[in-house]
Amino acid sequence: MLGNEVRADAPSRRRALVVLNSGIGNNVIAAPLLESADASGLFASYHVLCYQPFLPLGLADRVRLPGLRTAGLPPLVRRFRPADWAEIVAYVDAERLDLIVNLRLEIPELDGDYLAFRAEAERRGIECWDLHEDGMWEAGSSGERAVALFRRHGELPVAPRTRWLADLRTPASEAGPVGCFVGASRGVKRWQAERWIETVGLLRARGWPVELAAGPGAEERALLRRLARDLGAAVTVAPAGDLDAFAHWISGLGALVGNDTAAIHLAAAIGTPVVSLHLATDGRVWRPVGERVRPLQSALALRCRAMKRDGTCTRLYRGCPAPCRSGVTPEQVAAAVDELRVERVEKADDLRVERVEKADDPRVEKEERWSTPETSHATR
């Protein structure tokens, strides 16, 4: 729930500007952390500078963020260029903020503007927290680093929810099709069409229905159309829709295979088993956080001189032939889906055993049963 409720500010609670990397995936990662911080009483309010809207209403209703405000600053201010410093400071003063939490992940060599701003802000009495602090680079994935940063600076007794969108998913979803999210906003992160075609063949040979989806970008949609044409009746194409509809599509899948995009983070938040393809990024940094996650890493990407310590490629926005995209094979993907499917069967057997035992207990009046969906995933 997003809100602007009036809250009584305790003296120890901070008023913060929280800066995120652009992209809805970063918002999906940050949402449960901010919910936890809110519940723990760390902040009176926090103005978030990020991809907007922070979350669409259908997802926002599933997380409680009463302290959230939309930062009234241009998006590119997140880079802290010297020309923007005066505007940032003026906003902080006008909103009576006393803290800047910078959750952007960038190597120090390319983040000099922010580091210089941090020194200037501290001279003005504005405290800054960021992922350049000691120990943050060793704290795990980007999401785990953000949690470690909050814990470093204050109590965070309420652990962030990993599956904060779990109520979208039903037991029937476990028998759903395998979804392949073939899109990505940048070409270097997009697996080649030939690889997807071979992967679909392997999945279909195992008897699993396959559905394809992509983002709204022109190149993503062109790839989706090509795959739909070449694969024909072997696949179903998910209907285009907004982010709420996309999340509901993911929630009905038996597993998702996807490039390193918001899709894999949504799947982890929902609890849909996910195979994430880290073709031009470092999966140790950008993997989704969840129990049923299989990150597949291109070793070529990790050896490339263009790979930065923050787990992203220096050519992400400039373009590149990206031979690293061949560093993950269709056989690896199919094997990872196999593992997740086996886990699903074992989990289902465990649940059935537990429910039989409970049914024999006279204290249990009624037990929930699993049911087979009456309609296909594509028509739900």
Query: Could you give phi then psi for residue 142, rounded to 5 degrees?
Result: -60, -40
Round to whole Å and give the CA distance between 340 and 9: 46
Fold match between domain 14-153 and domain 166-345: yes
Structural class in CATH, domain 14-153: alpha beta
Neighbour count for residue 365 (Cβ, 10 Å): 6
pLDDT of 321 reads 81
**CB neighbour class for 55 (10 Å; exposed up to 12, middle 13-18, buried from 19):** buried
Strand (E) or helix (H) holding 216 = none
Structure-token match 């886990």, residue found: 343
Side-chain-side CA neighbours of 280 within 13 Å: the count stands at 23
Q: Give the model's pLDDT for residue 159.
A: 85
Cα diameter, the chain: 71
Helices (H), the chain: 24-40, 57-60, 85-94, 112-123, 142-153, 193-205, 218-231, 243-251, 262-270, 283-286, 299-303, 330-359
Cis preceding-peptide flag for 288 (omega within 30 of 0): no
> In angstroms, rounded to a whole number, what is the distance separating the alpha carbons of residues 350 and 347?
5
Q: Could you give the residue ranges of the DSSP H alpha helices within 95-188?
A: 112-123, 142-153
Is the CATH number 3.40.50.2000 carried by domain 166-345? Answer: yes
Q: Which residues on neighbouring strands pair with residue 258, listed in sequence order?
A: 181, 276
Number of H helices, E strands in the chain: 12, 11
Classify residue 223 as exposed, middle or buried by CB count within 10 Å of its CB (0-12, 13-18, 19+): buried
pTM for this entry: 0.86
Taking the C-alpha atoms of residue 43 and residue 68, their distance in angstroms, rounded to an integer, is: 10
Domain boundaries, the chain: 14-153, 166-345
Q: How far is CA 228 from the centre of its chain?
A: 26
SS3 293: strand
d(CA 279, CA 29): 20
Each residue's pLDDT, cut to its tens digit, for the chain (380 residues) gives 443 343 344 447 899 999 999 889 999 999 999 999 999 999 999 999 998 899 999 999 999 999 999 999 999 999 999 999 999 999 999 999 999 999 999 999 999 999 999 999 999 999 999 999 999 999 999 999 999 999 999 778 778 999 999 999 999 999 999 999 999 999 999 999 999 999 999 999 999 999 999 999 999 999 999 999 999 999 999 998 999 999 999 999 999 999 999 999 999 999 999 999 999 999 999 999 888 999 999 999 999 988 999 999 888 777 788 888 999 999 999 999 999 988 765 554 443 333 334 334 333 333 222 122 222 343 33
| C-alpha R_g of the chain | 22
Do the beta carbons of residue 151 and residue 129 sit within 8 Å?
Answer: no
What tokens does 284 get?
């140790």
End-to-end CA gap in the chain: 26
CA distance 277 to 258: 6
Per-residue confidence (pLDDT) for residue 314, from 0 to 100:
84
